[in-house]
Structure 1
Amino acid sequence: MRKILILCFLLIFGLVLAGCQEQSKPDDRLKDYVKLWNKQTFDDMYGSYLSTETKDSYKKKDFVDRYKKIYEDAGVSDLKVSFKEPKDDTDWDKKKEAEFPVIISFNTSAGEVKYDQKVKLTKEERDDKEDWYVNWDPSFILPELEDGDKVGIDTITAQRGEIYDRNDQPLAVNGEAFQIGIVPGEFDESNLKKVADLLDTSEEAIKKELDQSWVQPEYFVPIKKLPLSERPLALEVIDLDGLYSKRVKAREYPFGEATAHLTGYIGKLTAEKLEKVKDKGYTANSLIGVSGTEEVFEDKLRGKDGQRLFLTKENGDEVTVAEQEVENGKNVKLTIDAELQKKIYAQMKKEPGTAAAMNPKTGEALALVSTPSFDPNEMILGISSDRYKELSEDPDKPLENRFQITYSPGSTMKGITASVGLKSGKLDPNKTYDIKGKTWKKDESWGNYKVVRVFDNDSSVDLESGLKFSDNIYFARVGLDMGADTFVKGLKENFGFGEDIPFEYPLYNSQVSNDGKIEKEVQLADSAFGQGQVLMNIVHLASAYGGIINDGNMMEPQLVLDQEPKVWKKEVVTTEQAKLLQTDLRKVVSEGIATKANSEGKAIAGKTGTAEIKSEQGSKGRENGLFVSYDQNNPDMVLAMLLENVQDNGGSTHTVQVTKKFYDSLK
């Protein structure tokens, strides 16, 4: 009897406890649901929290897949669903429905989306237990989204900024091209070879395009782009059955080869490059600056595509959810004079070399030339693999940008050595060295090594004579008397050797030596007249002489027009010393080694240089010829030119003659 009473007591007590347990509240359930929502845990949201009515209307796969696809297509990020818990003391035991406000916000590729929504919950009994469940609605994904709506994204491609020269001449512009294509159902395959030959492509390349999975017999399949200047060729091609053309947008480079290394070109992203820039909005179909100013000014030229995220209702009405206005790229105006560049290129184009024309007073780059070159229009319209291989394997390296790299300056270094010596006070321009014969060495400690000069017409050599006849022995002795510390310090502090060249276009830095030091006498002697391990960039070389021409102030080189000129190195020499050097540089042409540079109506001044590239003294090797020059009647431009492999063309005299032809072409 006692056991029965205890058992009844326990049963009654258990029922009382069960009745006293706290019932689930709808705000608690919604709070947990929102946590899953923010984590985008759509499976759990569906399985444990959606009402029976919702599940009857939407299958789990449809619910989960729709969320994921829309969020992915719209580029949803930074999802934040916020829910403020109510403070009232509602007795939810007596309620069957509840409604709470939430704020939904996220970013999309078309911009930010933020809106208020109300979430309804209903009380349901499942597995003998009552709880609250969410009545889900498609508008929880996007505002105003309803069953039957289609989600769309429009992209408005930003127009790429254009590149112009100082006189508003177009260097890189948005133009058009002929897109040649094949409609497979109308094409006679017996013409495949003829089409390949006409378009300078391969039969395999055409077949590859025609064999793509999306191709249908009636579709237009793009094969090759042609510049508008090739209209006769386009007409010949489309005369064949199944061949058609249409005009499409394309980047154009009006000056072609003459400005190719300066402008560069745009192209599609490689997989490796895309991985690095995809967070900036680039896609596999994006075009990007591959080289030249197209690459240097990519961020400014590119612009920002516009996008619109919208809903299309069943009746055809459209509702905009988010919209990002298109931002077209900005134009870039360079200091370059395209016609001047074209004239310099015309004289150089047959042989490897580089040239930089600078305004010594402002630092503005007027021309940056690299030869031989290539046609950037060919690159942008789709260069064939055979043609690209031909360019890549050409021993003259037409794809290499030579105005970016460094070369041995040869005897053009002598003007800089003289400047360092004068500024330091270690060089007396009137001091003469007694030099006999064509070879000299300091003493027997130099072993078999000797400094060799070209001319031995002067035995008593001062600065004027040393420059006029480019006397290696004179400048070797000047360097030794100056001392390595003074020489190296002057090159670094006065002329910026070893520094980043302050120029918008990235250039290789000039160097005193491989390690920035000169510790041996022979190296000091060689370096003083431009051999040794001294290397200079052509822009830097023109700028250095610009400092002499500009009465001692070397300006920062500039590529973008309408910037405030800046002094890079102040007083590389005094005004008086600059005037002295200017006089001597004129005598180099009027009386000395560069008389072949004389041009009618002009007072050309400058310094020649021959850089010998060989394994050891006495051996025969390659030579680069240099000439830095300017017209003293019009000293607004200094031109530094280097031509490679001049050993069989008269050395630096060949570069002098090419330079003269350029000056003769000026009005």
Structure 2
Amino acid sequence: MKRKYLLLLTLLLTISFTFGCSSSDTPKASFEKYINAWNKNDYKTMYSILSTDSKKSISQKDFVSRYENIYDGIELNKISVMPEYPSSYKKDSKGNVPIPFKVTMNTVAGKVTFNDTASFKESNNTWYLNWSSEMIHPDLKKGYKIRIEKTPAKRGEIKGTNGSYLAQNGYIENVGIVPNKFTGDTEASKKQIADILQVDVNSISKKLSASYVQPDMFISIAKLSTDDTDKMSNLLKIPGIMITKTPARVYPLKEKAAMLTGYVQNISADELKKLKTKGYSRDNVIGKAGLEKIYEKQLKATDGAEIYIDSNYDKKIKTIAKKAPKNGKDVNLTIDTNIQSSLYDEYKADSGASVALNPKTGAVLALVSAPSYNPNDFVLGMPSDKWNALQNDANKPLLNRFKTTFAPGSTFKPITAAIALDAGKLNIDEDKKISGLKWQENSSWGNYFVTRDEAYSEPANLVNALVHSDNIYFAKTALAIGKDAFLSETKKLGIGQNLPFEYGLETSKITSNGSIKDDIQLADSGYGQGEVLMNPVQLASIYTAFVNNGNIVAPYLNSDKGTQSKVLIKDAFKPDTINTIINDLTQVVSNPEGTGHGAYMPDLPLAGKTGTAEIKKSQTDTTGTENGWFIAVNPSNPKLLVLEMYENVKGKGGSGYVVPNVKSIFQQFGK
């Protein structure tokens, strides 16, 4: 009987131990639960572990809001709590168990570290935390506050040559309403304001009726460019309107360089989540497109910040963390803002792309894509209807045309000729005996013919073929080169490979799948049709070989990082070939019958090549469009090479539509 009693007692003790001691029956278990909630910003769970006396000193609502406000204010992005558990728990004189711990926090002002001691009290076999505000920080006594002050840093600016700016730190105008001064017929005034700003009147009413609005507050309703003087003048006539200057990113060239510079906007929540450890805070802007995005790391400014404890009497008690502001570094470009502006202005209602560069050094002087958008609109705040209009615009103002590729048309003919000359496949004096306006190699081509625009009386030799831009001549030349050689020689020029250039460009290519399927495709490729697609920057860079003894010079945009006259491809063409090509391209302009004669200037002799690329589904397609090209350089003083491409020139004179515009750029900047 006694043995049964002992077994029963043992069993009861085991059950009591197993079920009567929960995981929170030790100070360590309670603190682990508290720390786990702390790491997750689960302030309600943290509060549930507080002792009864602690809960009397602060409500759950105030507890949660205090942690949220402080951690949000210091922009806490990571917290680590490391306790030092004793080997055995010893109660102090009050019957509490102390547990030392260390806290490390990453904040907007840098790392914050402190040591403290948590005190646990037992009640009904459960351990609770004796909490005070000093657990947020040991120096945060009751009634004290944690404050933060930021010192703005300056984002690096994007500069062109001669101290000109493409993106700079300037000001915008912040338009707001002071409610207690907004008197009279306020509904009529709202409508008047909405009409001036071209916004929905309801958006103004919504901002004025927000719960936080006080009678004497400045309620921002819109932002304007400093150029909007008429709007500001009309707005200031309305009682209650106030306009203040606000620091902001400004793009002086507006649409003229938008595709080049891109733009900045406030960092998004998703971006901040990824970049918190990179020194970003919620008040930062970040490059969203163009060079602003490409050079974000260099341009980025890191604001200074100080976190400190303030007494009831607005007295700074102690600085917890402090970080000095760090300005971003400027990006210095080779861009000549005058050339950039003039090239863009030439497009007016047209669309296309332009490249201007120094063919001897490789410095890119202008990169234009038209039409475009005003990057300042993104800084001022892009209304959804305006953004939708940009996206749905048939002229595609958001398409970066100098980044993409196009059929080069006849501008590719000098490249075909140079390849053939180097390979010994072309006699410059040979008359290819071409007659009529269409030709095919043999009857196996069926109904397919290579066509040309005119039949000329001169011999069908190289110079005349370039002067008259004879498609048939260069189709025959491509066939003489052969498919494999044509592909391998164009590859040596970098076609089909990424051009090493700061601004990522689409890759030029001869064919879509790496092979030329038949002689028809090869023939078409010889005069820049078929599947040939060229990026404007890469095409311009290949043309530098014609004034650099056959060497292709690497284009560069960043004057601090680029290397002048860096040879990208050495001996791309032989010297004799170059002399022949450049002399013939001079005839394209100087000869009255030349397709580029519209750019002829006796005092500024140019060498150039036109191109009219047909964009159509088949040879019989009459609904297709045409893109017009003209590339020119002054071979006697090669400091400027200009490429202009215009879309949809059908019915406007083809490439002849482009020639006068290139001439105008040389008249302004090429002498």
TM-score, length of structure 2 as denominator length: 0.86
User: What secondary structure sits across from 1:461 in the alignment?
Assistant: coil
Q: 1:610 aligned to 2:594?
A: no
* Maintained 8 Å contact 1:423/1:572: no
What is the aligned partner in structure 1 of residue 572 from structure 2?
A: 572
What is the aligned partner in structure 2 of residue 462 from structure 1?
A: 461
User: What secondary structure sits across from 2:473 in the alignment?
Assistant: helix
Select 2:153's aligned residue among 158, 163, 171. Answer: 158
Which digits, 9 at most, give the CA deviation of each residue in 1:409-461, with x for residues without a partner? 00001112123323444444444422222221100000111111223225643
What are the within-5 Å matches in structure 2 for residues 312-351 of structure 1?
Answer: 312-318=310-316, 319-351=318-350
**Counterpart Cα distance in 2 of 1:68 and 1:261:** 41
Q: 1:635 aligned to 2:638?
A: yes
Report deviation, 1:595: 1.6
* Maintained 8 Å contact 1:183/1:218: yes
Q: CA 1:80–1:289 in structure 2 vs 1: closer, same or farther (change >3 Å)?
A: closer
**Counterpart Cα distance in 2 of 1:377 and 1:47:** 50
User: What secondary structure sits across from 2:193 in the alignment?
Assistant: helix
User: What secondary structure sits across from 1:505 in the alignment?
Assistant: coil
Report deviation, 1:254: 1.7
Select 2:37's aligned residue among 37, 40, 46. Answer: 40
* Maintained 8 Å contact 2:367/2:402: yes
Which digits, 9 at most, give the CA deviation of each residue in 1:382-409, with x for residues without a partner? 4555555555444333333221221110
* Maintained 8 Å contact 2:37/2:45: no
**Counterpart Cα distance in 2 of 1:642 and 1:411:** 12
What are the within-5 Å matches in structure 2 for residues 354-433 of structure 1?
Answer: 354-383=353-382, 387-388=386-387, 390-433=389-432
**Counterpart Cα distance in 2 of 1:91 and 1:35:** 18
User: What secondary structure sits across from 1:148 in the alignment?
Assistant: coil
Select 1:517's aligned residue among 511, 515, 518. Answer: 515
Q: 1:625 aligned to 2:628?
A: yes
What are the within-5 Å matches in structure 2 for residues 91-490 of structure 1?
Answer: 101-118=100-117, 136-185=131-180, 186-187=182-183, 188=185, 189-268=187-266, 286-318=284-316, 319-383=318-382, 387-388=386-387, 390-458=389-457, 460-490=459-489
**Counterpart Cα distance in 2 of 1:512 and 1:168:** 40
The answer to which of 310-319 and 440-449 deviates more is: 310-319
**Counterpart Cα distance in 2 of 1:498 and 1:449:** 27
Alignment-mate amino acid for residue 490 of structure 1:
E
**Count of residue pairs the alignment pairs up:** 645
Which digits, 9 at most, give the CA deviation of each residue in 1:148-178, with x for residues without a partner? 1112233334322211102210111111222
Matched-pair identity in %: 38
User: What secondary structure sits across from 1:665 in the alignment?
Assistant: helix
Report deviation, 1:535: 0.8
Report deviation, 1:71: 4.2
Uncovered stretches (5+) of structure 2, i.e. residues with no partner = none
Report deviation, 1:508: 1.6
Provide the aligned C-alpha RMSD in A.
Answer: 3.5
**Counterpart Cα distance in 1 of 2:130 and 2:328:** 47
User: What secondary structure sits across from 1:465 in the alignment?
Assistant: helix
Uncovered stretches (5+) of structure 1, i.e. residues with no partner = none
Alignment-mate amino acid for residue 265 of structure 1:
Y
Report deviation, 1:609: 0.5
What is the aligned partner in structure 2 of residue 660 from structure 1?
A: 663
* Maintained 8 Å contact 1:347/1:661: no
* Maintained 8 Å contact 2:556/2:563: no
* Maintained 8 Å contact 1:419/1:572: no
* Maintained 8 Å contact 1:266/1:294: yes
**Counterpart Cα distance in 2 of 1:288 and 1:386:** 23
Larger Rg: 1
Alignment-mate amino acid for residue 150 of structure 2:
T
Q: CA 1:79–1:177 in structure 2 vs 1: closer, same or farther (change >3 Å)?
A: closer
Report deviation, 1:98: 6.9
The answer to which of 646-655 and 295-304 deviates more is: 295-304
Which digits, 9 at most, give the CA deviation of each residue in 1:604-663, with x for residues without a partner? 001110101123224433211101111123212211111122222211112112211222
Which digits, 9 at most, give the CA deviation of each residue in 1:340-359, with x for residues without a partner? 21222233334212110122
Report deviation, 1:286: 4.6
* Maintained 8 Å contact 1:34/1:82: no
Q: CA 1:343–1:97 in structure 2 vs 1: closer, same or farther (change >3 Å)?
A: closer
What is the aligned partner in structure 2 of residue 595 from structure 1?
A: 597
* Maintained 8 Å contact 2:85/2:100: no
**Counterpart Cα distance in 2 of 1:382 and 1:60:** 39
